[in-house]
Amino acid sequence: MDIFNNINFPQLSDLIIMVQYLNEFSTYCRNLGLLALQESFKLQKSTLEETLLMHLITLNREQLIQLSTRIVRIWNNNNGDQKQESPLESQQRKMSISEIHTKSSSQLNHLYEQHILNEENQIVKRDQQINHLMKECTFKPQITKKSQNLELNSPAHIRLNNYAMDSKIKLQIVQELNQKQELKDCTFKPSINTKSISNNQSVENPFDRLYQNALTQRNRTPRNNEDSSFTYRPQLISSPMKLQQQDGISVEERLYNHHFEKMNNMALKQEELQQIELDQCTFTPVINNQGNQRQNEKVFKRLYNHSSVKSVSDVKEHSISHMNKKSESLIKKPQSDYNSYVTQFQLESNPFDRLYQEHQRQEKKKKSNQIQYYQSIPFKPILSKKLSLQ
């Protein structure tokens, strides 16, 4: 009950004044076209009267009196040109006003009670949540009265939203009243086209205008009519067979298989093109098999064999002629040294054979040195399987 005492609800006199001018205020707003384009009111409340009622509940006594006097003055000014009513019409109007007052008072009481019930339910739920959270807390901080009052009120975003909506409504009311007062001095009233009125209203809300234009165009040109203009319509498959077969395969494997298939297809196409070109040729040359063998051999051996074969004939001729000369010189000079002759013959023999033998001798020497070095090491490391494979 302490919570309800802190809330400033309107008094009974304020509610009576509010009920008296609620219907007149709603009709006035409808005549002026006020709040007709505000979609936020349509989303929050079902009718314009309920939105205005919820707005008037938040006003003070002085604000209600000022608003009511202002509405009555404007209403009297708008209806001053009408004829005087007959006594029967005045009595009927009074009876209708009394009935409306009773209905509006009952509706007001129902809404007021419903509002109180909603507030009570929210407070009970909030207390339950706080008690559930406070069970685990051992420390209780000291909170000021202002913070406690803020805690009991509605959340910040709702409070700010309500304040912004109220200020917006008040500004619109003031603008409408100022326009009416300015138009009093005007004697001429031009005839305005309805399209220009709609354009002026749409300038104020471009988002609403664009949305409404899109809706109208969609309603004018339905999709069935658009589809009827096309002669061809493809057949769409919801789940292709390839995707169904590749559900269990990962992305990497699928891409690898796709690339492998693509490369195979390219190789097959190239072979087909080569075969087509060869079919057009009538001449087939005879190719020696030794050429392919030479291409597959190593460079060192190929050069060595080529040079050895090339120089065999020259070396033989040179050696024969040289041997003849040496034999003649030995016959002429029997006291010459035989060893010097042999060494000179070795130096003048085929250089490629000598280099090849020297290379083999160096390789054998390296291998023997490596074997001796490894035998001198007493420790042998244990290598893992992965490193041994690498």
Residues 175 and 324 reside in one and the same domain: no
pLDDT digits over 296-339, tens only?
A: 667 777 777 766 665 666 666 666 666 666 555 554 444 444 44
Judge if pTM exceeds 0.95. Answer: no
- Residues 369, 382: Cα–Cα separation, whole Å: 23
Instruction: Flag whether 35 is in a domain.
Output: yes
Residues 37 and 177 reside in one and the same domain: yes
Angle between helices 61-78 and 12-32 (to 10 degrees): 40
Instruction: Flag whether 208 is in a domain.
Output: no
- Residue type at position 249: I
Print pLDDT tens along the chain (390 aa): 343 344 344 444 555 555 555 656 665 555 555 444 444 444 444 455 566 666 666 666 676 677 777 766 766 666 554 445 556 666 666 666 666 656 666 666 677 777 778 888 888 888 888 788 777 777 777 777 777 666 566 677 777 887 888 888 888 888 888 888 888 777 777 777 766 666 655 455 677 778 888 888 777 755 555 566 677 777 766 555 566 566 667 788 888 888 889 999 999 999 999 888 888 887 777 776 666 666 666 777 777 776 666 566 666 666 666 666 655 555 444 444 444 444 444 545 567 777 888 888 999 998 888 888 878 777 776 766 665 555
- Residues 359, 90: Cα–Cα separation, whole Å: 136
User: Which residues touch 208 (CB under 8 Å, ≥6 apart)?
Assistant: 37, 39, 202
Instruction: Flag whether 104 is in a domain.
Output: yes
- Residues 179, 33: Cα–Cα separation, whole Å: 13
Instruction: Flag whether 52 is in a domain.
Output: yes
**Residue 338 confidence (pLDDT):** 45
pLDDT digits over 237-263, tens only?
A: 655 556 656 666 778 888 888 888 999
Residues 170 and 315 reside in one and the same domain: no
Instruction: Flag whether 286 is in a domain.
Output: no
Residues 30 and 162 reside in one and the same domain: yes
Residues 33 and 174 reside in one and the same domain: yes
Q: Tell me how many domains the chain contains.
A: 2
**Residue 265 confidence (pLDDT):** 92
Q: Do residues 350 and 313 touch, judged by C-beta distance below 8 A?
A: no
Instruction: Flag whether 205 is in a domain.
Output: no
**Residue 266 confidence (pLDDT):** 92
Q: Containing domain of residue 48, as a range?
A: 1-77+94-136+151-184
Q: Which of 388, 164, 337 is nearest to 329 (CA)?
A: 337
In whole angstroms, how far apart are CA 169 and each of 48, 51, 175? 13, 11, 10
Give ∠ CA 50-56-59 in degrees, rounded to 5. Answer: 160
**Residue 38 confidence (pLDDT):** 46
Which residue bears the tokens 């060595």? 304
**Residue 69 confidence (pLDDT):** 72
Instruction: Flag whether 337 is in a domain.
Output: yes
